[in-house]
Amino acid sequence: MAPFATSRTLLLSALLCVLLCSEVCVLQCGAAIGINYGQVGNNLPTPAQAVSLLSSLRVGKVRIYDVNPQVMAAFGGTGIELIVTVPNDLVQPMAASAGQAAQWVAANIRPYFPATRVTGVAVGNEVFTDDDEALKASLVPAMRNLHAALAQLGMDGYVHVSTASSLGVLANSYPPSQGAFTPECAALMLPFLRFLAETNAPFWINAYPYFAYKGDPANVSLSYALSDPYHVGAVDPYTHLQYTSMLYAQVDAVSFAAARLGYGGIPVYVSETGWPSKGDADEVGATVENARAYNRNLLVRQVGNEGTPLRPRQRIEVYLFALFNENMKPGPTSERNYGLYQPDGRMVYNVGLMQQQTTSATALSLAASSAPPSTRDVRKDFTSMFLFTALAILVTSQAFLLG
C-alpha cells in the first residue's frame, strides 16, 4: 500500500472512531450529500411533509424524477438545491422542437425559480442503455434545446443540464484506469461529453456496488462494496492508486473512460447509489445491517471532504437512494426497500441522520444513535470538542499530504 493511501486510511479511521463514539455530532457538511426523493408509492407523505423531513435532516441537495407542481412549490424557500427530471417520453419531442423545450421550461421551472433552487435538469434517465435507438439519438439535441431555453431566460448560469446514466455505459470498470465506454455508447458519448464540457455540466452516474456483490458474493469483498474505510481495498496495477471504496472506483472508471475520448476534465458525480435493507431469498446481502453500513460509510467520507483516489482534492456529490421505501416499485423485493425511512416517518435504520428542531438546510447531523434527552445536552460540548479536533487534524493532514 502506498504511503499516501495508508495515511488517508488512518485519517478516515480516526474520524470514523470519533463519529461512532459520539452520540450527537452536528457537522457543517457544505451540503455535498444529497438524497433521491422518489414517489412511486400510494402511502407516501405529502410533498410538504417530505420536504419538512428533508429540511429537518439538514439535507442540502435533492433529486426528484419529475416536475410535480406540488413538489416544486414545497421546496420553495427551503434553500435545498433541486435536480428535476425530464421524463424519457419527452426527450424526442424536445429534440425535435426548440419551442417544445422552451415551453417545458416556461411551464415547469420558471414559475418556481429562484424560490425553488433548481440547480440541475436530468434529461431522461439511463437513456444510453435503453433499447430505443431513436431515444438515444435524440438525447443530446434535446439537451441543447433545453439549455438554449434556459439561456433565453438567463437561467443557464444557475441550472446545469445533463442526464443520469447507469454503469452499464461502461464496457469495463475494473481496474478503474481501464474504464472504457461500450462500443455502442462510445459514438453517442462524444457529442454528449462535448456538450458537458461546453456548458460546465457534470456527468451523472447511477452506481450500485450492491449489484456487484449480489452477483458474485464469493469473489467480491463485502467490505469493499460497503465502502468500509478500514478495508485494505484494491490497488490499480496501472496507476498504483489505492481504492477502499468500490463506488469511488466506479466513479474513477467513468472519469478514465471520458478521458479516453478527450474529456478527462469533466466532473463525475453520483446521481444514485444505495443499498437495500430487505430482499428476496436470492438477493444476497440485502439486509438492514449492510444498508446502514453502506450509507453511513458514504456519509463519513463526505464529512471528511474525501475525493476519489484519481481526484483527491475534489469531493464528489453523492445522492443516496432513497428517502422512502416505495411500495409500488416493480421488480424484486429489494426495489421497494432502498429507503432510509418508512412512509409513516419511522427510520428503517439509523444511518446517523438526526432530525433537528430548526429548518435550516445548511448542515448534516451524524450520530451513532439517538441519545436520551437527559444526556444529549451534557455530552454535546465534549462531542463537539473531540469532533472538531479530529476534523482539524484531518484537514491539516490532507493539506500536508496533497501539498
Which H helix or E strand runs over 107? helix 98-108
**Taking phi first (over 0 means left), then psi (-120 to 50 degrees means alpha), and beta for anything else, what does residue 208 get?**
beta
Burial zone of 280 (CB within 10 Å; 0-12 exposed, 13-18 middle, 19+ buried): exposed
CB 354 within 8 A of CB 308: no
Identify how many contiguous H helices and E strands the chain contains and give both numbers.
12, 14
Pairing of strands 364-366, 25-27: antiparallel
**Which residues have a Cβ under 8 Å from the Cβ of 179 and sit 6 or more positions away?**
170, 172, 173, 252, 253, 254, 255, 256, 257, 260
Looking at the annotation, which residues are catalytic? 126, 272
C-alpha cell at position 372: 436520551
**Taking phi first (over 0 means left), then psi (-120 to 50 degrees means alpha), and beta for anything else, what does residue 105 get?**
alpha
| H-only helix segments in 242-334 | 246-260, 288-303
